[in-house]
Amino acid sequence: MKIDVLTLFPAMFAGPLDESIIKRAREAGLLDLAIHNLRDYTRDRHKTVDDRPFGGGPGMLLKPEPIFEAVEKLKREKSRVILLSPAGRPFNQAVARELAQVEDMLLVTGHYEGFDERIRERLADDELSIGDYILTNGALPAMVVVDAVTRLLPGVLGDDDSAKEESFSAGVAGLEYPQYTRPAEFRGMKVPEVLLSGNHAEIAKWRTHQAALRTKERRPDLL
């Protein structure tokens, strides 16, 4: 998959997507990620990307010209052009699975109080929000989308992790039970006896029960 990102903060992308699984996916050619600086698509002396809203109101908006220039240059035949904003449709695991099927993505990250509406109207295929909170800019949301989608691309995860992904389709946040590794006792905290028993039927029953308790407590919306 080719993913292009348009941002005012290209340096933010240097660290997080150069580690671990995403790094391997890029090295293996499974993900072709390119970060583009929106300022490179301005044509005025001051490299202006924003302006005040007509009709008044607080803050600044991203002006249309640089974003139109950039998107028209970077967009490919099959690109899905996606704005990141708090007003987008909620991003979740189902959306990540949907996006893992597309050929190319162009993620357009905002800043300030948002985008001139004509960007939405003419350029965007979709608008996503990673959650109900405001961030200083859309770089972190774009990285979240890149990460969540990349790990679903064929060949990116090991076989064990891929199988786990499938078994999680019933609910991403639910169905998580307490897990332990060695040592069996650590600072006086003992691993539940049942997990050491070797009784696989009892272990499965315990895990199902624990996952239900935890989901009821933390995510009743999923039940």
- Identity of the residue, 136 or 167, whose beta carbon is nearer to ligand 4G0 in the bound complex: 136
**Least distance between ligand 4G0 and beta carbon 130 (Å):** 4
Using the rule CB under 6 A, is 85 a contact of ligand 4G0? yes
Q: At what angle do helices 139-150 and 20-27 cross, to 10 degrees?
A: 70
- Among 3, 25, 99, 130, which residue sits at the site for ligand 4G0 (rule: CB under 6 A)? 130
Residue nearest ligand 4G0 (C-beta atom): 110
Largest CA distance in the chain: 72
The single residue listed with the structure tokens 């992308």 is 13
Using the rule CB under 6 A, is 133 a contact of ligand 4G0? yes
Q: CA 65, CA 122: separation in Å to the nearest integer?
A: 12
Using the rule CB under 6 A, is 134 a contact of ligand 4G0? yes
20: tokens are 């671990």
- Among 41, 74, 110, 151, which residue sits at the site for ligand 4G0 (rule: CB under 6 A)? 110
Using the rule CB under 6 A, is 92 a contact of ligand 4G0? no
Q: CA 164, CA 158: separation in Å to the nearest integer?
A: 10
Using the rule CB under 6 A, is 57 a contact of ligand 4G0? no
**Least distance between ligand 4G0 and beta carbon 114 (Å):** 3
* Residue 91 per-residue DSSP state: P
**Least distance between ligand 4G0 and beta carbon 112 (Å):** 7
**Least distance between ligand 4G0 and beta carbon 208 (Å):** 33
**Least distance between ligand 4G0 and beta carbon 115 (Å):** 6
- Identity of the residue, 131 or 178, whose beta carbon is nearer to ligand 4G0 in the bound complex: 131
117: tokens are 């509406």
- Identity of the residue, 62 or 156, whose beta carbon is nearer to ligand 4G0 in the bound complex: 62
Which residues contribute to the site for ligand 4G0 (CB under 6 A)?
84-86, 110-111, 113-114, 129-131, 133-135, 137-138, 141
